[in-house]
Structure 1
């Protein structure tokens, strides 16, 4: 039987292990001393809920799938038809070329060809590298076409500590957040000061529903921590990370058993709003880098 997620690469380094799959270049699992840091999906099954997905050439949603760029209007397929949105880019269900230079690293590449709705040619690369301090991820794109291309990038890890989100402590190093409408599209940024979405200092999530982008990142990692055990998982932000999207998984089954902390170069709907949209000129490249690491405490 053909594996739905394609070839699985197992990476190991020290106390860390990870699984990366050839379909979508997705991250299926990440463990530290056999403790699961991300909530993935079982081998032999289709990836659920975009877990571990690479989000290119846009993260999150494009409202109505319709946007204007360089004097032309483009219509993307509506992959979230119930909300009339184009969701999570074009790379997730494609086979990627796999390169496995050593036991701790995998590099996956995909040629994104022009198509209706996105008539631009990009070479995409995702580099997963286990090191002493965790899993380092770099999501990159190069414009190999003859004109400018709109672009955004993200990654969709679901962090888990084996307990409901309500009981966990969250830190998000962001000074602003965006309210969201019923279609999952953002309004203008607002300061987090005085709102339930101010997680600049660690606090328990409780029953707060979070499915929002956070901007004006202030440095330091985003951290999900279990106050009972002291165990935590940190997402360290690097080059190109201008936004985080945090999701408490309320619409999934079972609900609120993981928290997605998604590094992004731009917020949802950037193809329409232009907020932090990257314009790749011919030959131009963009890189989004972050890492995920276990934190052990008391």
Structure 2
């Protein structure tokens, strides 16, 4: 089935999925606003006493350990258990893995619990795959193309679609002997200059998974759609903004205003390769 980005966007608008966000305190409000802007419903429920119960109600779950407390770690454990039992999609954002030992251990444990998508920057993906040491705090010190082999390895070992954010994003899926790699251009240089773009992209990915996978779309296609939506909105916002402060409201407005038909303008290139033919990856 050919990738139909306008149809995936339209499905998101029609579905208004409920997304449970167990995410860091720095980005909670921004991530909630991003979800609202695209027509989804955010729930920032991260207490261990009720996270599991709420996960049964949510359409998809994001787990992001950026500023993890003991409460959030236990909440994530409970929500992931429910997501797996009820076959709900969930996204893991391995923030700062490789930088601090305990955080890295807990992220690796989560990655073993069959996330639908793992989304991070290049250094995080390399570290989670065991082929890197992590970045500088939450910032990547690696280029996206340099970690595609690590992304493929991670996709093979976890079964997840692996998305790598950067100036040119990559989405990697391994299925049997076939590998699909999507590269996405666009966006704007101001996107990494504001807090929360990467983290909220994880929330948006969860929303697309919830809306589209029930209708037969693959997690690979839904992840591409989330990244394409983000890139297009970032590009539009960057044309209006004077700097980081004015970029944030312009970005939210662009996410909200993007028509489904405009998704055809996304810069997406997909390669399909067989495992023995991966030297150029």
Bigger Rg, structure 1 or 2: 1
Between Structure 1 and Structure 2, which shows a larger proportion of helix residues? Answer: 2
Between Structure 1 and Structure 2, which shows a larger proportion of strand residues? Answer: 1
- What is the TM-score normalised by the length of structure 1? 0.29
- What is the TM-score normalised by the length of structure 2? 0.30
